[in-house]
Amino acid sequence: MNQRLMLLDTASLYFRAFYGVPDTIRRSDGTPVNAVRGLLDMITRLTADYGATHLIACWDDDWRPQWRVDLLPTYKAHRVAETVDNAPDVETVPDPLEAQIPMIRRTLDLAGVAVVGAPGYEADDVIGTYASGADLPVDAVTGDRDLFQVIDDGRGVRVIYTARGMKNLEVLTETSIVAKYRVLPQQYADYATLRGDASDGLPGVAGIGEKTAASLLGEYGTLDALLAAASDPDSGLSAPVRSKLAKASEYLEVAPDVVRVVRDLDLPRLDEAGAELAPITGNERAELERLGTEWNLGGSVKRLLEAFDRFA
């Protein structure tokens, strides 16, 4: 069996499961289990369809790291439910989903799925680090466009993009990104910085949209080279673009570090994390089956067990 590492943007997936599976599915005490069911079925399908042999559920130990907020206070500000001193802010999460997160962690643990996070960093940074350092092909599963920057055809790093739903998954490569955005994956962070992204609280450069951002990066290659041209009176950069970049100078000093995923976290190796998939056996299998009944997880547990049994 050819080896392939799958990296899950776990929160992205369980949010999608929560909104995609009816919340009328509940356990006997009335607690919804739709996100648990949906996530297990996603893992079953994804690992089977894309031939994953290793799997890491990448976790947001800090969904809004303070160091990113210090650089750009608007970063994800619209998603803050409560600010907390000396600790991560509380994200706006529907109560019925919040109640399911401990159940998700419990089922992943019993299934032997490696869960890896890093204090002060997002799941994106965990994905970026593993994708950049893995010595086997990688599929990063996410609905977040920021992770397009990790795509690397030469190293076999793809993104399985979930934004259109599990029935319309897209396998994105360098060719896909160039066709859709007219920039290379390694330019995507600069592109997002220029264009902005309301979903992350990135204002972008006023007056520079997707087409202009792509055109400028097509001509200058990087944001640094573009800014160098803007400061050079002899460059061919137009006066209107110079003016727009000048007005956004403070933003452009900090935004690139906010947008770029971190690629050098000190994370456990794949073998240390227990990333290699294996059959679920013994007490863990029995307990997962018991919880499948007690928590009304339907056929999702059985399907997951069968999917992992193929690694025997």
Task: With a cut of 70, say whether residue 1 has pLDDT above it.
Answer: no
Residue 115 has φ and ψ, to the nearest 5°, of: -115, 120
Residue appearing with tokens 């997160």: 101
Residue 160 has φ and ψ, to the nearest 5°, of: -95, 105
User: pLDDT digits over 178-230, tens only?
Assistant: 999 999 999 999 999 999 999 899 999 999 999 999 999 999 999 999 999 99
Find, among 128, 168, 118, the residue nearest to 148 by Cα: 128
CA geometry: angle at 61 spanning 59 and 66, to 5°?
135
Structure tokens at 39: 């996530």
The Cα 173–Cα 158 span in angstroms is: 5
Neighbours of 78 (CB within 10 A): 11
The whole-number average pLDDT for the span 269-283 is 98
Q: Report pTM.
A: 0.95
The whole-number average pLDDT for the span 86-105 is 87
Task: With a cut of 80, say whether residue 39 has pLDDT above it.
Answer: yes
